[in-house]
Amino acid sequence: MSLQYNRPQTVAEAAELLQQPGRRAVPLAGGTWLTPRLRTDVDIPGSLAGEVDVVVDLADLPLSYVVSEGEAGSGALRIGATTRLSVIMDDPLCQALAGGILAEAARRAGPLNLRNSATIGGCVAARGPVLELTLVLAALNGSVVFSDGSADSTLRTSRSDLLITEIVVPWPAGDVRGGLARVARTPADQPIVAAAAVVNTSGVRVVLGGVAQQELVVTVSSAVDLAEAVAVQLAAAQPIADFRGSAEYRQAMAPIIARRAVEAALR
């Protein structure tokens, strides 16, 4: 099967190409996730080889930016969907948000070559259970905005024909601190379990990944109540396991990693 390649100049044109009836179209941003899955000579999880009819290249769209609107407590940080992770890592606004937790998550996403190619929109669209960048966005109450004007505060969408245009993160008011923690087989490996914590005067919000199919969101008024709240979430979660770690190991590490993320925020 041959692929039709398109490089639209406007968001409206890209959205129209993604919604062609009877044809499966996929957006191409940095290509770090999509490109290997389109190859026919390799077999990797989530392969799309032979299943895609149209590739829509987003390179020419005006979706690479980091801007601030309004003031703390009422404004928001808006990040265009094709903004590279390397830009987010070095951007002063991202570094100022909750102690730089968003910039740090972008740095942890992978090596330099990946950060120079991967985009925030692509990371959200292809999110896995332990991608720290998406854990941070969830901890900061971020939302994803689509080309039709709709928004999703869960940072997920069940419709593959919707084009992500930007990520919006509310500017928190007051003293807000963020922290990250993870456990992995090696420092360079993807985390087995990871957590992002945001701490302010109203309480603690922790988002855990790598424990269940969906992230676990724990909100408590005090860090003293964290362990019990995590235990409640674990009891209701459907555990996952793979070659990196068993379900039992992941569940045992969850409260430890959650606590370490909060401690990192408080430091």
Mean pLDDT of 236-248: 92
Q: How far apart are the first and last CA of the chain?
A: 54
The neighbour count for residue 244, using CB atoms within 10 Å, is 17
Mean pLDDT of 142-158: 83
Co-location of 21 and 87 in the same domain: no
Which CATH number goes with the domain that contains 140?
3.30.465.10
Rounded to 5 degrees, what are φ and ψ at 137?
Answer: -60, -40
- The C-alpha atoms of residue 131 and residue 255 are separated, in whole angstroms, by 18
Average predicted confidence (pLDDT) for the chain: 89
C-alpha to C-alpha distances, 198 to 87, 114, 221, 244, nearest whole angstrom: 22, 26, 12, 27
Query: Of 116, 124, 118, which is closest to residue 29 (Cα–Cα)?
Result: 118
Co-location of 78 and 39 in the same domain: no
pLDDT at 265 over 80: yes
Q: In terms of pLDDT, which residue wins out, 217 or 71?
A: 217
Contacts of 51 (CB under 8 A, 6+ apart): 24
| Residue that terminates a domain, selected from 170, 200, 230 | 170
Give residue 247's pLDDT.
95
Query: Of 104, 135, 103, which is closest to residue 254 (Cα–Cα)?
Result: 135
Give residue 181's pLDDT.
97
The neighbour count for residue 55, using CB atoms within 10 Å, is 19
Render pLDDT for 163-207 as a digit per residue (tens, 0 to 9): 999 999 998 888 899 999 999 998 888 899 999 999 998 899 999
Which CATH number goes with the domain that contains 13?
3.30.43
Give residue 93's pLDDT.
94
Co-location of 161 and 222 in the same domain: no
Give residue 1's pLDDT.
54
Share of the chain above pLDDT 90, in %: 59
Query: Of 196, 201, 194, 192, which is closest to residue 240 (Cα–Cα)?
Result: 192
Mean pLDDT of 68-80: 86
Q: Which domain holds residue 30?
A: 4-57
Q: What is the pTM of this model?
A: 0.90
Co-location of 134 and 78 in the same domain: yes
Beta strands in 99-251 (DSSP E): 143-146, 151-152, 164-170, 177-183, 193-200, 203-209, 216-220
**What total of structural domains would you count in the chain?**
3
Computed on alpha carbons and rounded to an integer, the radius of gyration of the chain in Å comes to: 19
Co-location of 110 and 195 in the same domain: no
pLDDT at 159 over 70: no
Q: pLDDT band for 71, please (50, 70, 90 cuts).
A: confident
pLDDT at 119 over 80: yes
Render pLDDT for 22-56 as a digit per residue (tens, 0 to 9): 888 888 888 777 777 777 777 777 777 777 888 89
- The C-alpha atoms of residue 235 and residue 243 are separated, in whole angstroms, by 23
